[in-house]
Amino acid sequence: MKISGKDDPLYAKIVIAVLGVILVFAVYAHIRLYTLGTGLWYDEAALAGNIIDRSVRNMLTQPLSNLQTAPLLYLICVKALTVLFGAGEGVLRVFSLIAFLITLPVQALVMRRALGVAKPFVWFGICMTATFGLYFRYSHELKPYMSDTLFVLAVLLAYWWFREGRIRSVAFAAICCIVILFSAPAAFFIAGVFITEILLRLRRKNLRALFPLFGAGVLVLAVFVLNYLFWIQGSVSVSDMQDWWRNYHFDFFAHSSDTIRHNAEILFELFASLGGWRIPLLVFACGGFVCSLRKRHAVTAAVGASVLLLLVASHLKMYPVYDRLWLFVYALSFVYAALFLSAIFTGLAGGKEKPGPLRTAGRVAAIAASFALLIGCSQLTGYATAEEEVKYPGDVTKPLIEYVREHIKEGEKFVGLGNAHLVVGYNNGYGSLRIGNVSEDNIVYSEKFVIAHDAVCVEAQKKAYVLMYQYNSQLEDLLSELRKTGDIELVMDVHQTRLYYYCSADSILRQSIREDQ
């Protein structure tokens, strides 16, 4: 059954119109969140320090500081934007927003052209991507995760163009080389694409067709190896980075109940943001994947090969299984879930015959299931109306730092506890130890997360604003310690990020004496 253009039946046009309204509203919500200008959270500020506070030459020297890693061309693009337009939050994040906006039409093309999804279900797929919570978060964050999703889909689309003869092997290789420098997970999809295409051509015993493919493959492999040796290896080999991700590696050769349980837990946790809807989504997505393989879609075979390669890489402790690192997997899940429902819908079309009541009921059920899945997986209402949804608890420092800048006086200090040096450095200038209209340096950092050490650091300042950054679990213990030597009061609390003012007992006494006199 053809579901496109002027041949759309009335109900299909109504479905597409409804989904079109949802899509427009979702895009508006993404842009709205971007324009709110929320301050950088810790991980963004950690990466921003490598971009803003370094020259281009130093920025391109691995490993990056603050346990950060990012693709080479991503850093260069963001650095170029800051040189041209300044280093505000909006400039740093605009690459991710643009990547999200381009992702939607690219996903639509993959679904419609490469996989043959019926038009109403193409709209379902892109609406699920546009309304998904993690895409709301990462579409305006200084991280390459959103662009990873774009480049993974772009590789699949380019592969389809290549197989259809729309681009030659040289152009396909050039696209792949550029993508490798933009996205780490997309590089695995490029490998999956080449492996799939080689196997398909061997299966057809078309040996002559292998020569241009091998030529393109050698060029792409050379770029991949050079990128790994001179860029990626410098970050993945850092011991602290390996320790951070040590519990998120897939054991590809599970040999015990513990490793099987570990694999199941990290894969299940990967879809935790979908709550109870992850089960029907994964069931539909697996169904769509199988349907697509039965139709011999080369793109789907490449997706399967690529995911296997990623799991092998995870087993080798080279690529952890974690939601933001696998952000592309949600778009792919939406693609194949929509494909499955589309297959049910078109399979019940009945050819030129008028569909009977059972077929009609089945097709209505397919559309109803699509809407149910969209509503269940969507987080549009929360992100469209509230700023709080995109804030990490304990990580909203911008209004607190602005308050200190406006109110701090001569003789007062600003103490940043925890990892505050990164967010304060971005908001106040990297390397600067002075905030506000004062004549002397007044910023002090304590990064120990040790109560005794931090208490001594605060007490030594006599009068100080204290930013309790990422200091939630031990907060009451620290406050109790500080109250032994003075008075500490809460000044601001923004989304569990707290600013206090400390005044030592000695300072309180001197102030009381002056007032009495």
Predicted pLDDT of residue 446: 85
Dihedral pair phi/psi, residue 467, rounded to 5°? -90, 110
Q: Average pLDDT by consecutive 10-residue portion of the chain (517 residues)?
A: 53 90 95 89 91 85 83 94 93 97 98 94 96 94 96 98 94 96 96 94 80 89 92 73 79 83 90 91 96 95 96 89 94 97 77 60 86 92 70 83 94 89 90 91 84 89 88 81 90 90 73 44
CB 201 within 8 A of CB 210: yes
What are 258's two structure tokens? 């513990």
Predicted pLDDT of residue 394: 78
State the Cα–Cα distance between residues 385 and 382, nearest whole angstrom: 6
Predicted pLDDT of residue 509: 45
What 8-state DSSP symbol labels residue 272? Answer: G
CB 30 within 8 A of CB 140: yes
State the Cα–Cα distance between residues 49 and 285, nearest whole angstrom: 39
Predicted pLDDT of residue 4: 44
DSSP 420-478: HHHHHHHHH-TT----SS-SS--EEEE----HHHHHHHHHTTSEEEEEETT--TTHHHH
State the Cα–Cα distance between residues 263 and 279, nearest whole angstrom: 17
Q: What is the pTM of this model?
A: 0.91
Predicted pLDDT of residue 3: 41
